[in-house]
Amino acid sequence: MKFGLIYEIPVPRPWHERSAYTAFEQTLQQIELADRLGFHSVWTVEHHFLDEYSFSSAPEAFYGAIAMRTKNIRIGHGVRLLPFPYNHPVRAAEAAATIDIISDGRLEFGTGRSGTRVELEGFGIDPADTRPMWEEALEVIMGCWTQETFSWEGKYFKIPPRGVVPKPLQAPHPPLWGASSSSESHELIGEKGIGLLSFSVAAPPETLVKRFGRYRDAIKRAKPVGKYVNEQIATFTQVHCAETTEEAYAEAGPRFGWYVQESLKKIAELGDWKDGTQLGSYEYAKRLLGGIDINSLDFDYLIKNQAVIVGNPDECVAMAKRYEAVGTDLLLCLVQPYDIPHEKVMKSIELLGKHVLPEFS
């Protein structure tokens, strides 16, 4: 199992004129350290309008900085939103190819649909359109990357014959991934022959077995949207390592709870959208909480349900082994969920790199 970092890039209030700069600069320093320690990859989300929760609204710009300040770590869209008008697929193809070139072929291209009301509504996107728009946009991007002259006549996009430049450095194209929070989407991603980014919040690793199984079954009958099949499974969890368990709990506890509560609130808002009308493939949002009080999903809940990796290095190794046992190929570690002090995040990454990663080599 390989290890990566994943970031939302939160910027806690109260804000001042340097708040955003500090958040981005500290994240870059953490990524530089992870690069030196041998982490496989770093991924960031694409979010819009989410206040303190995420300032990662232009990841392609941030990836340029990562490319210039690192040597080996791979750079992952976790994910690039493909419904329009978030991103036109030609622009997504051009930007991703540029990142691949300036990083010397280190791009991992994860894609997704978005999953919050505030973002979909803010861009005027009908939830019912996001899945077919994602599928069509992915086809367009493949054409842009692999054909000298490309044209398209679809439901959502119409493109006259054009030569889209640049092409990615990786041949025939960077690895493709798809994000999923629902069991049904795990199967769809497998059928497309792309890597799985399984994003389930506050779930212990053993609960992922059935979802991973649906993906593995589907990929056996895949009709790849790309030129090859990427059958890797990645999942994520919050991770914090310290010298002692007590330190780790004190540093991470309230921040881990904050992240889970904020995440689930944003997803659950979909279930109340448009006066209860059908949300198609987003129906899982209505079932998400099942009557659970979001405020009860605190750090104690996460520890009791073994849904995070937190503790001393030995404890982190033991918990990570459980992710490996259920079939995870790449474990994405959310090391900064809110406002853990920068020096504590750096120490956590250092301990993971020196004591945890070697146990999986």
| Average pLDDT of span 203-231 | 97
Per-residue pLDDT at 269: 82
Tell me the pLDDT band of 237, cut-offs 50, 70 and 90.
Answer: very high
pLDDT at 139 over 60: yes
Q: Which of 125-134, 174-183, 188-197, 281-290 has the lowest mean pLDDT?
A: 281-290
Tell me the pLDDT band of 337, cut-offs 50, 70 and 90.
Answer: very high
| Average pLDDT of span 215-222 | 98
pLDDT at 281 over 70: no
Tokens found for residue 198: 């399984």
Total domains, the chain: 1
**CATH, residue 204:** 3.20.20.30
Q: Which residues of 261-291 are buried (b: 16+ CB within 10 A; e: fewer)?
A: bbbbebbbbbbebeeeeebebbebbbebeee
pLDDT at 297 over 70: yes
Contacts (Cβ under 8 Å, ≥6 apart) of 211: 180, 183, 186, 198, 200
| Average pLDDT of span 317-332 | 98
| Average pLDDT of span 147-159 | 98
Per-residue pLDDT at 49: 98
Q: Which of 25-34, 74-83, 188-197, 272-281 has the lowest mean pLDDT?
A: 272-281
Per-residue pLDDT at 361: 82
Per-residue pLDDT at 267: 82
Q: 163 with 76: CB under 8 angstroms? A: no
Range of the domain at 257: 2-360
- Alpha-carbon separation of residue 115 from 61, 168, 271, 276 (angstroms): 22, 28, 11, 16
Residue 150 CB-density burial (10 A; 0-12 exposed, 13-18 middle, 19+ buried):
buried
Q: What percent of the chain has pLDDT over 90?
A: 88
pLDDT in tens, 177-205: 999 988 889 999 999 999 999 998 888 99
Residue 36 CB-density burial (10 A; 0-12 exposed, 13-18 middle, 19+ buried):
middle
